[in-house]
Structure 1
Amino acid sequence: MSRGICLVIEDDEDIAGLISLILTREGFTVRSVRTASAALHQLRGLKPALITLDLGLPDLDGLQIAKDIRELSPAPLLMITARATASDQYNGMAAGASAYLNKPFRPAELRDAVTKLSPARSAT
């Protein structure tokens, strides 16, 4: 059974591919975009069950887009970023993140974070 749509917002093609592969195996239908503007455009028509967000996007700071996402969607927001200080994590959570995962990450770490944010739907 599908766990719903996950919007992956990541400008690095290899990382986006890895995240998409893991989330597809976890039961999500994945939509992937490379820019903040594309993400905001997609969100206007989607009702995602989960959103992943890189903070280092080419067109808009990830903290700003997190705030914009919060205005458009109540979906859990998982920040996946190389910004790894405690201050970065605090700022990410303050901007609307539901959880924060540092790059580089192990696939198991991503699966664990996703399970906590978006438990599998039962087949009832």
Structure 2
Amino acid sequence: MTDLGVAVVVEDDADVRNLVEAVLRQSGFEVHSASEGREGVEVVRRREATVVTLDVGLPDIDGYEVLRRIRQFSDAYIVMLTARTDELDTLTALHTGADDFLTKPFRPRELRARVAAMMRRPRHEGQRAASPDVAQPAGTPAAADSGLHHNGLALNPDTRSVTVDGDLVALTRSEFELLHALLLGAGAVKSKVELVRVVRGEYYRADAYISESDERAVEVHMGNLRRKLREDPAQPRWLQTVRGVGYRLAPVCS
């Protein structure tokens, strides 16, 4: 196995499969592939994949069902590939647990950049309990022990861990980055455009075009984040929506 680990390509189009295999192999992965969904699930399980590229339109079961099955046993980074430009495809992929998506045809360097950005932001690794809250002025999270603390929530960027009232919360890379950005903002409003760049990482430069679909993807990530935190949108402890703009950190609870 290489230093980067194993990549699995689940794609029924031989030309696309060969292209993706070449990109990932050149990036430093040990690459395996499958042309059908059920086979892809087993290859991911058997090879303990680090990264998976997954076509939406497969001949036996669709990519969303493959994604759901993989998520039952793996936290591999998953990039969905689709030939359709329908926004619903993107939102369905993110709701189901994908980390990113690309529309065919795509540039090889774009796929390489997306995968590299994910690998630079690893999944949470720590299992340590959070420290008690430290009193701070309204709207400002406390920084202690390399972590951020706010209203019973603790985020440690070194271990990539998040806890709520001492209980560990499992987040995707995108959810973690969004929460981290809002905590660092200490109550400042973050626009959806800013948060798209947080999710996309270095690939989205300041002059890069950001579509409505990108902004909707942020909304989906925020919805998933609220669900995992068991946030009450009517009385938020952490995440406030600023209508027409974006999101900000809720004030410190009294």
Alignment check: 8 A CA contact 1:7 1:51 kept: yes
Distance in 1 of aligned mates of 2:84 and 2:68: 17
Q: How much has 1:65 moved relative to structure 2? A: 1.0
**Per-residue displacement from partner, 1:61-96 (whole Å, max 9, x unpaired)?**
111111111012110100011122211100111111
Mind listing any 5+ residue stretches in structure 2 that lack a counterpart? 122-254
Question: Residue 17 of structure 1 corresponds to which residue in structure 2?
Answer: 18
The answer to whether the aligner puts 1:104 opposite 2:105 as a matched pair is yes
Alignment check: 8 A CA contact 1:43 1:72 kept: no
Alignment check: 8 A CA contact 2:5 2:50 kept: yes
Give the greater-gyration-radius structure (CA). 2
Letter in 2 for 1:21: A
Distance in 1 of aligned mates of 2:45 and 2:51: 15
Question: Residue 67 of structure 1 corresponds to which residue in structure 2?
Answer: 68
**Helix, strand or coil for the counterpart of 1:59?**
coil
The 10-residue stretch of structure 1 (52-61 or 81-90) with the greater mean CA deviation from structure 2: 81-90
Kindly tell me the number of residue pairs found equivalent between the two proteins: 121
Alignment check: 8 A CA contact 1:5 1:50 kept: yes
Distance in 2 of aligned mates of 1:35 and 1:47: 18
Runs of 4+ that moved beyond 4 A:
none
**Helix, strand or coil for the counterpart of 2:110?**
helix
**Helix, strand or coil for the counterpart of 1:44?**
helix
Question: Residue 210 of structure 2 corresponds to which residue in structure 1?
Answer: none
Letter in 2 for 1:52: T
Structure 2 matches for 1:24-63, cutoff 5 A? 24-63=25-64
Distance in 1 of aligned mates of 2:44 and 2:108: 25
Distance in 2 of aligned mates of 1:113 and 1:44: 23
Mind listing any 5+ residue stretches in structure 1 that lack a counterpart? none
Alignment check: 8 A CA contact 1:5 1:30 kept: yes
Q: Aligned residues: percent identity?
A: 36
Question: Residue 6 of structure 2 corresponds to which residue in structure 1?
Answer: 5
**Helix, strand or coil for the counterpart of 1:79?**
strand
Q: How much has 1:2 moved relative to structure 2? A: 2.7
- TM-score normalized by the length of structure 1: 0.91
Larger RCO of the pair (alpha carbons < 8 Å, separation 6+): 1
Distance in 2 of aligned mates of 1:21 and 1:84: 25
Letter in 1 for 2:95: A
Letter in 1 for 2:81: I
Alignment check: 8 A CA contact 2:33 2:43 kept: no
Alignment check: 8 A CA contact 1:49 1:118 kept: no
**Helix, strand or coil for the counterpart of 1:78?**
strand
Distance in 2 of aligned mates of 1:56 and 1:90: 16
